[in-house]
Amino acid sequence: MPSVTHDTLNGLFRNRPAFAFEILRELFDVPVPDPARAEVAGADFNDRPSRDCVADTVVINGPAYQRSLAVIVESQLAIEPDKLTAWPRYAAALWLREDCPVELLVICPSSQVATWASGPIPTALPGYVMRARVVGPDQIPPITDPAQAIECPELAALSVMAHGHRREVTETFMTALSKVADQHAPQYYEYAYRLSPITVRRILEELMSSTTWPVYSPFAREHFGRGVTEGKAEGKAEGKIEGKLEGLAEGEVRAVLAVLQARSVSVPDEARERITACTDAVQLEEWVRRAATATAVEELFAG
């Protein structure tokens, strides 16, 4: 089952397809056509008689009768050797379907996964070795200029994901949101929030509720006001539900360990302590999902 991070990364490109071409142009110096014609295309590649192949997101440029460039965007959260077979299949099928150059763009929140994805991908075709354009934390720039964040809020959201522990990066993103159209600001805030680790989420929450936040912004007033109201209500109910929340977290911890045990995955003491110490129900739920397919406990913590 796709995770929140996986779906959110794909949402960045599906919401504004031109972002894929901008990354290729700005980060990899790939000559790309005018991204104004960019659009999301079908991501299922029929590969019968063997199997159907479905990529995460496909973006193409140019009219249907004259495609100029197609981009496969893959959100890769963990090392998956099977993808080294799937990716060339995706590219070949898309090239045959659209009859235009194809680029593979892989977005990796983890540096370890980015290093793995950056290697050469050999195929059974003589002389054909594929290489992906990989965007990991080292390729994502730390954006500290509000003007740059306003120009490309999608890249700013990725910058928060990769470098949000640097407070100036998160502050720049939040400042930029105050100048983004109000109907779009909440969406970009949600993108950054969902992609970020828990420590960065706390900074985002602090900035949203801080008196230094420009509360004249309608977006800020809406969220700040809602936060105050919800905070009061939660404060009244906290005593009643605290025990229930603790019980929920404990249940999720037991579920993670039980699934790993059932799949004969070894859990060293350090990993067990990390799991049992976690009280974030969202994080624990994600670990339960990963445990269902993990072959090693390290896969739980990837990304």
pLDDT tens sequence across 93-148? 999 989 999 999 999 999 999 999 999 999 988 888 999 999 999 999 999 999 99
Rounded (to 5) percent helix, strand, coil in the chain: 55, 10, 30
Q: Identify the pLDDT of residue 106.
A: 97
Region 215-219: mean pLDDT is: 50
User: pLDDT band for position 232 (50/70/90)?
Assistant: very low
Q: Quick check: pTM over 0.85?
A: no
More confident site: 263 or 40: 40
Residue 255, token pair as written in the block = 């579920």
Q: What are the two backbone dihedrals, phi and then psi, of residue 114, each rounded to the nearest 5 degrees?
A: -60, -40
Instruction: Give the tens place of pLDDT for each residue, 192-204.
Output: 988 988 888 888 8
Region 289-298: mean pLDDT is: 77
Of 46-55, 56-65, 276-285, the range with the highest mean pLDDT is 56-65
Nearest to 9 by CA among 118, 123, 115, 113: 113
Average pLDDT over all residues of the chain: 81
Q: Are the CB atoms for 67 and 98 separated by under 8 Å?
A: yes
Looking at the predicted structure, is the pLDDT value of residue 245 above 60? no
Looking at the predicted structure, is the pLDDT value of residue 235 above 50? no
More confident site: 241 or 35: 35
User: pLDDT band for position 237 (50/70/90)?
Assistant: very low
Q: Identify the pLDDT of residue 263.
A: 66
What distance in Å separates the CA atoms of residue 283 and residue 281, rounded to the nearest whole number? 5
Strands in 39-41's sheet, in edge-to-edge order, are 39-41, 57-61, 69-75, 102-107, 133-135
Region 276-299: mean pLDDT is: 79
Nearest to 279 by CA among 256, 249, 300: 249
Region 31-35: mean pLDDT is: 78
Q: What are the two backbone dihedrals, phi and then psi, of residue 40, each rounded to the nearest 5 degrees?
A: -75, 135
**CA-CA distances (angstroms) from residue 82 to 1, 85, 89, 122?**
16, 6, 11, 13
Q: Identify the pLDDT of residue 228.
A: 43
For residue 137, the 8-state DSSP code is T
More confident site: 216 or 114: 114
Q: Which of 45-49, 144-148, 206-210, 233-237 has the lowest mean pLDDT?
A: 233-237
**CA-CA distances (angstroms) from residue 173 to 157, 183, 187, 275?**
7, 16, 13, 31
Q: Identify the pLDDT of residue 289.
A: 72
Q: Identify the pLDDT of residue 111.
A: 92
